[in-house]
Amino acid sequence: MTRTTAPRPVDIAAVIPALAPLARTATRLHPRPGSPSCYDSSVGGPLLWPAGEPWPHCHDPHWGEVMSLRQARSKRQDAVCDEAALSEDDYQWKNTPEDLAKFQQLYDPDPVLPEGPIAMLPIAQLYVRDVPGLRAPAGKDLLQVLWCPFEHDEYLIPKTVVVWRSAAMVTDILADPPEPAVVQDGLGQFVPEPCTIAPEQVTEYPRSSELDDHLQQQLQQWEAAYLGIDVEDLGEIESPYNSDLSVAPGWKIGGWIGWHGSGPWVEPCPGCGEPTEPLLTIASWERDGAQHSWVPDEDRPDMLAGGNGCPTKINIGDAWDLVICACAASPDHPHVPNLLS
Ligand SMILES: [Zn+2]
Ligand SMILES: [Zn+2]
């Protein structure tokens, strides 16, 4: 399986040479539903985890409505993910009587939030051999990311754990990892569909909000000329630079952060105070904005018709992204989660 992003409609570094030094390579992961094993790179797939190592659990307080993990994996998730705004009455029309019967069977009428820590769920497992541009600490070649399937604190983000390990050191694999009995039942969807990945490298430039004043002015003049409108009218429309030329949507390694409402502001490394850079972007959607030029060639018929924009079946907040940033100086320093609302 491969995924191919078309060349950008404009080579912006040729038009505005001052952008050229800001180019970064991102590796789009293109997760799509599949049956990955623990020996594969995956999103939401099984982890290569040592039998003798404790599985991560979240000890933070949890609250709110819950549903069983089994139910979260059922048909209902498709409807909620694709039509987040629909009520339960509304989504039923989308399903066949067989679907509804299955849903009733899976439906747990009274799930209870248990006392004590919550077992975390695998979110991503990436082998360095599969993902160009994935920068590992010395001696490590496997990145594993887990999260707790609840919103935490006022920012509504699931709590993440990042593990780097050497795959060759895992000889006795944990066969039956713990799972949470229940997960949060709300707008957020934190149970990923198991997906294989098809890494592809693309070139990105910072969002316009990260550029200095001089570059922003140059960019605005170019955008106005490109669109054939006055600079004053640019605020009325989607920026063609931000939509099509700067940051790719979806799951990826590296690159720039696709700020929209929030930011731009990234916490420094809690270990040493150095700047942090995007490591992994966990995205609610694979396509973005009014311009759809980032949709891979292989997915264009389906995605542009409205389907498959959310192949991982996760949703953070209101279709937000979570960017896990890592220390630019030492990749084994503690990570910093950033919410893109
Ligand atoms: Zn938690
Ligand atoms: Zn650091």
Domains and CATH numbers, the chain: 12-64+113-340 (2.30.320.10)
pLDDT in the model for residue 226: 95
Residues 112-121 have pLDDT tens digits of 888 899 999 9
- Mean pLDDT over 242-269 rounds to 91
Ligand 1: distance of its center to the CA of 183 in Å?
Answer: 10
Nearest in space to 88 (alpha carbons), one of 76, 78, 99: 76
pLDDT in the model for residue 83: 37
Q: Is the peptide bond before 296 cis (omega within 30 degrees of 0)?
A: no
Ligand 2: distance of its center to the CA of 280 in Å?
Answer: 16
pLDDT in the model for residue 276: 94
Ligand 1: distance of its center to the CA of 120 in Å?
Answer: 8
What ligand has the least distance to the C-alpha of 271?
2
What ligand has the least distance to the C-alpha of 183?
1
Kindly indicate the confidence band of residue 90, based on its pLDDT and cuts at 50, 70 and 90: very low
Kindly indicate the confidence band of residue 111, based on its pLDDT and cuts at 50, 70 and 90: confident
Q: What are the angstrom distances between the C-alpha of 52 and each of 169, 175, 260? A: 12, 11, 43
Q: CA 278 to CA 276: how far, in whole Å? A: 7
pLDDT in the model for residue 77: 47
Check whether 281 has a pLDDT greater than 90.
yes
Kindly indicate the confidence band of residue 82, based on its pLDDT and cuts at 50, 70 and 90: very low
Least confident span in 23-32, 153-162, 209-218, 314-323:
153-162
What ligand has the least distance to the C-alpha of 334?
2
Check whether 81 has a pLDDT greater than 90.
no
CB atoms within 5 A of ion ligand 1 belong to: 58, 60, 148, 150, 159
pLDDT in the model for residue 297: 93
What mean pLDDT is reported for the chain? 88
The CA-to-CA distance between both ends of the chain, in Å, stands at 31
Least confident span in 105-109, 269-273, 289-293:
105-109
Residues 33-80 have pLDDT tens digits of 999 999 999 999 999 999 999 999 999 999 888 988 988 887 444 544
Ligand 1: distance of its center to the CA of 63 in Å?
Answer: 9
The residue behind tokens 């995924």 is 3
What type of residue sits at position 188?
G
Ligand 1: distance of its center to the CA of 60 in Å?
Answer: 5
